[in-house]
Structure 1
Amino acid sequence: MTRNKKGLNTICAHTGEVKDEQFKGAVSPLYMSTSYAFEDVDIKRYPRYFNTPNQESLSKKIAALEHTEAGLIFGSGMAAISTSLLAFLEAGDHIVLQQTLYGGTYNLITEEFHKYGIEYSFTEGWAADDFEAKVQENTKVIYIETPSNPLLTITDLDAVAKLSKKHGLVSMIDNTFASPVNQNPVDFGIDVVIHSATKYMGGHSDICAGAVASTKENIKRIHSLAKNFGGSLSDYTVWLLERSMKTMGIRVRAQNENAQRMAEFLDGHDDIAAVYYPGLPDHPGHETAKTQMAGFGGMLSFELLEGLDASRFQKSLQLIKPSMSLAGVESTVLSPSQTSHALLGAEERERQGIKDGLIRFSVGIEEPEDLIADIEQALEKVKSVVGTV
């Protein structure tokens, strides 16, 4: 008996590979050429057209993982986000965005969209009613991010998809924090799925890339603008990304398990004031997350007890790295107010609930006992300093 639908790890390992027809190698060959023939060929290939052999093949893997008809690979997550948004928005249009977003996306909207004559509104919350309250006659797109960066808020995919269809809008999601391993928004009716492939798809903190998955019609529209914006990815990086994605299912599931363990540990710790993780039963979005996520992810955030210095805590860590970005196999922490959301400004961060003492924790694949020991010793160092003041 044959299986019509391949499993996750099979897709990661095999779908979208470039066949080595000449030498029959086990891995995809790398085609580095930036110049291809244009006469007597079916496809006129050029890197900026997103159609080199490695680019095309990896896009098929992205589409298969997100259960869509087509995909595109970009040079960064922001290239994927900006190109996708502007492919469906023009002067005079309006977009509704959820309250909590990645700082780079927020900055793109607030700093650039007025130059294009595009209006925008941010919701007050995350319920369907919050989105509907912001819909206008000229609204064209609803944009969400769930789980969100950095507070791990959960937005109901099914509710947003139904609302979008009711008003004839295009629904888009930044699915980076979940990854295709934990969440497939198209299955709930979302139209366009966007990733910073730098994160869980790359998974080793050494690749910068973006990805979009949707219908053939939507990808054609995005591709038309992408060729003009030029946000393509080098074929060497495409090849590295395809290699990395072969282990994505295994990596992410290990990170899910570790993050759940770390969230429970931190939630029960006397020196931790708050923990944000959808896998905790008392998380406001826990029940919704259970209906739309296969796993709760490897990301969480927490706040130290008032009086404990967050910066000193991070500097006291010995195993966990204070570092930019996220989703590598190594555990990292950062302060959103100083990094991912520094562009927002103090007042907007406060409105979103992003305090200066908030620490975002990207949980890796280390043994959880080692991560716990590192946090314990760092907390003891911070408390010892407080005690001497």
Structure 2
Amino acid sequence: MNPENLKLNTICTHVGEVADRQFKGAVSPIYPATSYNFEGVDEKRYPRYFNTPNQQALTRKLAALEHAEAALIFSSGMAAICTSVLAFLQHGDHVVLQKALYGGTHNFVVNEFKRFGIEYSFTKGLEKKDFEAAIKENTKLIFIETPSNPLLHITDIKMVAALARANNIISVIDNTFASPVNQNPIAYGIDIVAHSATKYLGGHSDILAGAVCAKKEHIEKIASLGINLGGNLSDYTVWLLERSIKTLGLRVKAQNRNARKLAKYFSKNEAVSKVYYPGLKSHPGHELASTQMKGYGGMLSLELQPGIDMDHFLTSLSLIKPSMSLAGVESTISVSVRTSHALLSEEERKTQGISDRLLRLSVGIEDKRDLIADFEQAISKVRAKQI
């Protein structure tokens, strides 16, 4: 079965299965062993070496989804990102990072790079000239995130990949918000694709994991460092993640539809002052997103009108859960300055355009009419209290 000839939902369901040759079960069996025979075997297996049966099976599925040669699965999204970045850097190297990034990635760079003697620059914008201006003679890696967390900025993937290639620089993208359903950066020339698998790949708010997809040469280099850092994932969680990915295509497409409907609704609602969603024609990155994304994603952000008590609004919601993470089948909402970007200084958040009133909404698979009704009843409660 050649994954290149299979469609999305078939890849999600079948690629990377572990065959149950003993009992012929319909799902992959779990191999939880942490100790394997070393005599008379083709491969000496150990969980920290990323080579248990379940780990290897899952990485085949991930590689197929991202059209990559190989993949690795980690214990968290940040483990995947940090290991991948550090695998290609050493003392004296320089990294270019786009201006708008997930708070955890930003915090990792500004707080940890100095101890390794690694230099870094954040771009002033997201245009080609901004990336070109940030590149130095010792630049070894460019890191981007599109759509970005939490303002859904869109970065030109093909442009960044070409620029990196022309300067002999490794390109890395955080593809978490898009998921492999909506965006496949390797097709545009990106070297390494990272995911917080906690989000859409897991999809049920009960798995903590990370993933990296790339050509075999890069994956081997990342694995070499990963073995030393010990960021492997438990085979129990590996099995759960393989199970969850079976419905990835169905879930994400439903979330795409809901998010687009809600974004249009919020853009016309008098209680909302701003909406950030690349599926809206008013979004500055809409045209670019339309060329590199198959769907606009299930994430959107919004700001309520200044007169609306935001805390009362959050506590008044019934279906939509105020929650720190995202991309589950249930809709969740968070305040970026208190959660994903809490580790950034006020000035750093201001530079990225993240206001104190910014709400990040992860749209689930519920009926959109129920989600709209929940928003409206919460707004009504806030207004009733203010009268």
Could you state the TM-score of these two structures normalised by the residue count of structure 2?
0.99
Alpha-carbon distance, 1:4 to partner = 5.7
Structure 1 residues 132, 212: CA separation in 2 closer, same or farther (over 3 Å shift)?
same
Do structure 1's residue 241 and structure 2's residue 237 form an aligned pair?
A: no
Do structure 1's residue 204 and structure 2's residue 204 form an aligned pair?
A: yes
Aligned match of 1:90: 90
Q: 2:143 touches 2:173 (CA, 8 Å); kept in 1?
A: yes
Q: Which amino acid is 2:160 matched to?
A: V
Structure 1 residues 47, 3: CA separation in 2 closer, same or farther (over 3 Å shift)?
closer
Q: Which amino acid is 1:261 matched to?
A: K
Q: 2:3 touches 2:11 (CA, 8 Å); kept in 1?
A: no
Distance in 1 of aligned mates of 2:383 and 2:102: 32
Matches within 5 A, 1:223-234: 223-234=223-234
- Cα deviation, 1:103-151, whole Å, max 9, x if unaligned, reads 0000000000000000000011111111111000000000000000000
Q: Which amino acid is 1:212 matched to?
A: V
Larger CA deviation: 121-130 vs 202-211: 121-130
Aligned match of 1:120: 120
Do structure 1's residue 172 and structure 2's residue 172 form an aligned pair?
A: yes
Q: Which amino acid is 2:84 matched to?
A: S
Aligned match of 2:342: 342
Larger CA deviation: 181-190 vs 378-387: 378-387
Aligned match of 2:362: 362
SS at match of 2:338: coil
- Cα deviation, 1:20-70, whole Å, max 9, x if unaligned, reads 111111100000100000111000000000000000000000000000000
Q: Which amino acid is 2:233 matched to?
A: L
Q: Which amino acid is 2:358 matched to?
A: L
Do structure 1's residue 134 and structure 2's residue 134 form an aligned pair?
A: yes
Distance in 1 of aligned mates of 2:383 and 2:114: 47
Q: 1:310 touches 1:359 (CA, 8 Å); kept in 2?
A: no
Structure 1 residues 3, 178: CA separation in 2 closer, same or farther (over 3 Å shift)?
closer
SS at match of 2:343: helix
Do structure 1's residue 326 and structure 2's residue 326 form an aligned pair?
A: yes
Q: Which amino acid is 2:57 matched to?
A: S
Matches within 5 A, 1:1-389: 5-387=5-387
Distance in 2 of aligned mates of 1:189 and 1:5: 21
Alpha-carbon distance, 1:345 to partner = 1.5
Alpha-carbon distance, 1:384 to partner = 2.4
Distance in 2 of aligned mates of 1:255 and 1:10: 19
Structure 1 residues 319, 119: CA separation in 2 closer, same or farther (over 3 Å shift)?
same
Q: Which amino acid is 1:58 matched to?
A: L
Q: Which runs of 5+ in 2 are unaligned?
A: none
Larger CA deviation: 375-384 vs 196-205: 375-384
SS at match of 1:68: coil
Distance in 1 of aligned mates of 2:321 and 2:3: 42
Distance in 2 of aligned mates of 1:4 and 1:79: 28
Could you state the TM-score of these two structures normalised by the residue count of structure 1?
0.98
Sequence identity (%): 64
Alpha-carbon distance, 1:386 to partner = 2.9
SS at match of 1:106: helix
Distance in 2 of aligned mates of 1:61 and 1:127: 34
SS at match of 1:211: strand
* Pairwise CA RMSD: 1.0
Q: Which amino acid is 2:203 matched to?
A: G
Q: Number of residues paired by the alignment?
A: 386
Distance in 2 of aligned mates of 1:136 and 1:91: 15
Q: Which runs of 5+ in 1 are unaligned?
A: none
Q: 1:313 touches 1:382 (CA, 8 Å); kept in 2?
A: yes
Distance in 1 of aligned mates of 2:81 and 2:148: 15
Q: Which amino acid is 2:325 matched to?
A: S
